[in-house]
């Protein structure tokens, strides 16, 4: 099994427009086991997207290092696929060519042509190969962008709120879709979300982060069997635990006794 | 509406009848032959054939039904011009020649006009393609490279807004021939809008497209040419379109400064000879040439930007 991510003592700072330094991540340590599904959850400003972008290699940490299977991450690479909240498909390419983009960029398209249709059917878009992105619904576009990332056989798939822009029903379908894809193509998946239910439904491990200073508050192991039920007592217990950690649990209800 | 398809034919028939039935006014100089009559008959025959064809072919019917009112308008325009000039001499005869005399000028001067057209086309195309290619390359450089942006942007900002014809005095002494000087001026007129629109198109590309392509394994140059250039295409075409328009203006001016042949030169020369029928003949040819080029550019754009269909209308 490959795809183990190690985050070692990572600090990330940004210079703000007024010249002051903002600490976006404060000495973060994290181990993501190969083949597991890990979610980063927390309110905005907690550094979860910053951490994901560091793993993707789009930015470099101020100090500390991140490794994939022991190798230091130094810039973006197709073995760490990335899916954004917006599908960010190339609007001038058909869905087929969007999915084939990575193969063509790496000049292996000729040998692996058949994989394009394979991945299109994996996400259920085999009938939309010649459509253009603007002709697709939000959910379909997000599937296409998923296929585009998956075709590079990434060891790690990074998902930055991939389902955030979808309606509730499409969202639940896509959650099952993600799990199905993970069972078909084994890989590590790391997802940023601020939906507690989504994190609980999908993850083996939930990293709860808090803002100012941005740090890891808690790491929760989710040991429920799949397919998970959203009304399972364990599900609800973990849900309130996470909300409590994030201080979103609200006030305790006042005890009332009726005699 | 069936009658709509036959309107151009009917209008042609009316134009022919006007010419045959109304006597010419003696105050308007006569052409050496009834060229307008021949043109009307030819137009009428074509209109009849198109109308007949549209009843047989569905696809053509759609095109013709759309275009028929327009061509009717063109025919009616010439018929009215005919009435105002040759038939009743209402407009001053020197400045407003009859359609017969305009078409006559095209016929009698056809050899010279063809030569002029060739010269103009050569000049325009050299200048346009030179300016467009250099403009796109400059735009890409400015859009992607910080150093190019730093050094070239100020030059664009200072030189760009100056009408390229203002460079005539400088260009005339620095180029070996009038042709190369004119081509350079046209190129300059095309270069500015193309560069500005290309670079602004590139700068407006959302960064996430580049980020996504780098996580898919695309290298630096692959990102420039397969992500940057295609997404800047729409604004590149706006730049090229503006460039075409200013290239026409520059062509006409450039040909008036010591060119030996060319449509602009021809029009200017004939104006000085007070031979207005030839001036109009030249103008019609310019109009046709320009609109052909613009149509061609639009066709290329529709082909290249097929992915925009349904996103943007312009």
How do residues B139-163 score in pLDDT, each as one tens digit? 999 999 999 999 999 998 888 888 8
Residue-level pLDDT at A258: 62
Specify whether the backbone of B18 is left (phi greater than 0), alpha (psi in -120 to 50) or beta.
alpha
pLDDT of residue B43: 94
Tens-digit pLDDT profile for residues B272-281: 888 999 999 9
Task: Kindly state whether residues B90 and B122 are assigned to the same domain.
Answer: no
User: Which residue in chain A has the smallest CA separation from B208?
Assistant: A88
> Is the pLDDT assigned to residue B314 strictly greater than 80?
no
**Residue contact B307–A149, C-beta within 8 A:** no
Same domain, residue pair B36 and B80:
yes
Strands A21-32 and A188-193: unpaired
Is A15 among the domain residues? yes
Binning pLDDT at 50, 70 and 90, where does residue A31 land? very high
Which pLDDT value is given to residue A46? 83
Contact between A10 and A64 under an 8 Å Cβ cutoff? The reply is yes
Q: How confident is the model at residue A17 (pLDDT cuts 50, 70, 90)?
A: confident
Query: How would you classify the pairing of strands A188-193 and A37-41?
Result: parallel
- Cα separation, A195 vs A176, in Å, equals 15
Q: What is the mean pLDDT of residues B178-201?
A: 92
| Domain that includes residue B50, residue range | 2-108
Residues of B in Cβ contact (< 8 Å) with A157: none
Do residues A236 and A160 both lie within one domain?
Answer: yes
Which residues of chain B neighbour A148 with C-beta distances below 8 Å? Answer: 212, 216
Query: Across the interface, do B217 and A84 touch by the CB < 8 Å criterion?
Result: no
Domain that holds residue A132: 80-153
How far apart (Å, rounded) are the C-alpha atoms in residues A105 and A254? Answer: 61
d(CA B281, CA B266): 10
What is the predicted pLDDT for the residue at A256? 62
Q: B108, B131, B158: which is the final residue of a domain?
A: B108
Our count of domains for chain A comes to: 2
Considering the domain architecture, whether residues A61 and A109 belong to the same structural domain is answered as no
Residues A129, A224 share a domain = no
| pLDDT tens-digit readout, A199-256 | 999 999 999 998 877 788 889 999 888 888 888 889 999 998 998 888 765 555 556 6
User: What is the C-alpha to C-alpha distance for residues B4 and B68, in angstroms, rounded to an integer?
Assistant: 7
Question: Does residue A14 sit at the B interface (CB-CB below 8 Å)?
Answer: no
Instruction: Report the DSSP pairing between strands A71-72 and A80-83.
Output: unpaired
Decide which of B24 and A67 is more confident.
A67
pLDDT, tens digit, for every residue of B287-306? 888 888 889 998 998 888 88
Q: How far is CA B103 from CA B100, B272, B273, in A?
A: 5, 20, 18
Query: Looking at residue B303, what is its pLDDT?
Result: 87
Alpha-carbon span A32 to A206, nearest angstrom: 10
User: Which is higher by pLDDT, A131 or A255?
Assistant: A131
The answer as to whether B313 is a domain residue is: no
- Which secondary structure element, helix H or strand E, spans residue B7, and what is its range? helix B2-21
Residue B7: inside a domain: yes
Question: Which positions in chain A touch B308 (Cβ < 8 Å)?
Answer: 91-92
Same domain, B41 and B116: no
**Is A208 within a domain?**
yes
How many angstroms separate the Cα of B72 from the Cα of each of A66, B65, B78? 74, 11, 10
- Could you tell me if B117 and B102 lie in one domain? no
Which residue of B lies nearest to A86 if distances are taken between CA atoms? B208
DSSP 3-state of A216 = strand
CB–CB contact B206 A148 (8 Å): no
Minimum distance, in Å, between the CA of residue A88 and any CA atom of chain B? 6
Q: Return the higher-pLDDT residue of B137 and A227.
A: B137
**Cβ contacts of A86 on chain B, cutoff 8 Å:** 208
Residue A44: which pLDDT band, with cuts at 50, 70 and 90?
confident
> Could you tell me which chain B residue has the CA closest to the CA of A100?
B216
- Report the pLDDT value the prediction gives residue B83, as an integer from 0 to 100: 92
Q: How far is A132 from B277, CA to CA, in rounded Å?
A: 52
What is residue A204's predicted lDDT score, i.e. its pLDDT? Answer: 93
What integer pLDDT is reported at residue A21 of this predicted model? 85
Q: Are residues A184 and A259 in the same domain?
A: yes
Average pLDDT score, chain B: 90
Give the domain-ending residue among A118, A153, A188: A153
Q: Which domain CATH number covers B214? A: 1.10.3720.10
**Would you place residue B118 in the very low, low, confident or very high pLDDT band (cuts 50, 70, 90)?**
very high
Which of B206, B217, B307 faces A92 most closely, judged by CB atoms? B307
The answer to whether residue B314 sits within a structural domain is no
Backbone torsions φ then ψ of A257, nearest 5 degrees: -115, 130
B139 and B48 in one domain? Answer: no
Co-location of A117 and A236 in the same domain: no
**Quick one: B214 and B197 in the same domain?**
yes
CB atoms near residue A70 (< 10 Å): 7
Q: Which of B108, B125, B142 is the last residue of a domain?
A: B108
A195: domain CATH number? 3.40.50.300
pLDDT band at B27 (very low <50, low <70, confident <90, very high): confident
Give the pLDDT confidence score for residue B312 in this predicted structure. Answer: 55
Instruction: Say if the Cβ atoms of A92 and B311 lie within 8 Å.
Output: no
Residues A48 and A160 in one domain: yes
pLDDT tens digit sequence for B90-102? 998 889 999 999 9
Cβ-count burial A173-198 (b if 16+ within 10 Å, e if not) = ebbebbbebbeeeebbbbbbbbbbeb
User: In this model, does residue B13 exceed pLDDT 70?
Assistant: yes
Domain count, chain B: 2
ipTM computed for the complex: 0.87
Q: In this predicted structure, what is the pLDDT of residue A183?
A: 86
Does B165 share its domain with B251? yes
Shortest CA distance from A74: residue in chain B: B215
């Amino acid at each position: 099994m490959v795809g183990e991510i190690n985050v070692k003592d990572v600090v990330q700072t940004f210079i703000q427009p007024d010249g002051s330094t903002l600490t976006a991540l404060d000495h973060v340590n994290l181990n993501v086991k190969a083949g597991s599904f890990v979610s980063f959850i927390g309110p905005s400003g907690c550094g979860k997207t910053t951490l994901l972008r560091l793993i993707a290699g789009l930015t470099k940490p101020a100090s500390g290092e991140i490794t994939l299977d022991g190798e230091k991450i130094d810039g973006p690479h197709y073995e760490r696929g990335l899916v954004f909240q917006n599908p960010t498909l190339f609007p001038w390419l058909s869905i087929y060519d969007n999915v084939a983009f990575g193969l063509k960029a790496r000049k292996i398209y000729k040998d692996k042509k058949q994989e394009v249709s394979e991945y299109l059917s994996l996400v259920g878009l085999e009938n939309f190969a010649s459509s253009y992105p603007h002709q697709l619904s939000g959910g379909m576009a997000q599937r296409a962008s998923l296929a585009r990332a998956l075709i590079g056989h990434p060891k790690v798939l990074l998902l930055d709120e991939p389902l955030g822009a979808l309606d509730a029903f499409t969202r639940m379908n896509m959650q099952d879709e993600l799990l199905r894809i993970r069972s078909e193509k084994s890989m590590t998946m790391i997802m940023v979300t601020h939906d507690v239910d989504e994190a609980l439904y999908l993850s083996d491990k939930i990293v709860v982060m808090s803002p100012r200073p941005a740090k890891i508050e808690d790491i929760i192991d989710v040991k429920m069997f799949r397919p998970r039920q959203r009304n399972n007592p364990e599900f609800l217990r973990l849900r309130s635990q996470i909300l409590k950690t994030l201080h979103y649990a609200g006030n305790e209800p006042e005890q009332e006794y009726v005699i | 509406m069936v009658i709509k398809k036959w309107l151009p034919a009917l209008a042609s028939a009316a134009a022919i009848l006007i010419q045959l039935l109304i006597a010419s006014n003696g105050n308007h100089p006569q052409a050496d032959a009834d060229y307008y009559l021949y043109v009307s008959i030819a137009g009428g025959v074509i209109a009849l054939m198109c109308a007949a064809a549209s009843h047989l072919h569905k696809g053509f019917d759609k095109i013709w039904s759309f275009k028929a009112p327009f061509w009717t308008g063109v025919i009616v325009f010439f018929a009215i011009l005919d009435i105002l000039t040759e038939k009743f001499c209402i407009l001053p005869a020197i400045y407003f020649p009859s359609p017969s005399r305009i078409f006559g000028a095209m016929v009698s001067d056809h050899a010279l006009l063809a030569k002029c057209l060739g010269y103009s086309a050569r000049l325009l195309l050299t200048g346009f393609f030179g300016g467009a290619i250099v403009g796109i390359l400059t735009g890409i450089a400015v859009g992607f490279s910080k150093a190019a942006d730093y050094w070239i942007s100020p030059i664009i900002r200072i030189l760009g807004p100056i009408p390229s014809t203002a460079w005539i005095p400088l260009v005339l002494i620095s180029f070996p021939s009038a042709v190369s000087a004119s081509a350079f001026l046209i190129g300059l007129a095309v270069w500015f809008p193309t560069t500005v629109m290309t670079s602004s198109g590139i700068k407006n590309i959302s960064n996430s497209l580049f980020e996504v392509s780098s996580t898919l394994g695309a290298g630096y140059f692959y990102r420039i040419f397969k992500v940057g250039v295609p997404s800047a295409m729409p604004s590149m075409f706006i730049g090229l379109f503006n460039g075409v328009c200013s290239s026409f203006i520059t062509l006409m001016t450039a040909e008036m400064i010591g060119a030996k042949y060319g449509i602009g030169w021809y029009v200017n020369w004939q104006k000085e000879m007070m031979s207005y029928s030839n001036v109009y003949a030249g103008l019609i040819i310019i109009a046709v040439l320009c609109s052909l080029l613009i149509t061609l550019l639009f066709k290329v754009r529709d082909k290249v930007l097929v992915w925009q269909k349904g996103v943007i209308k312009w």
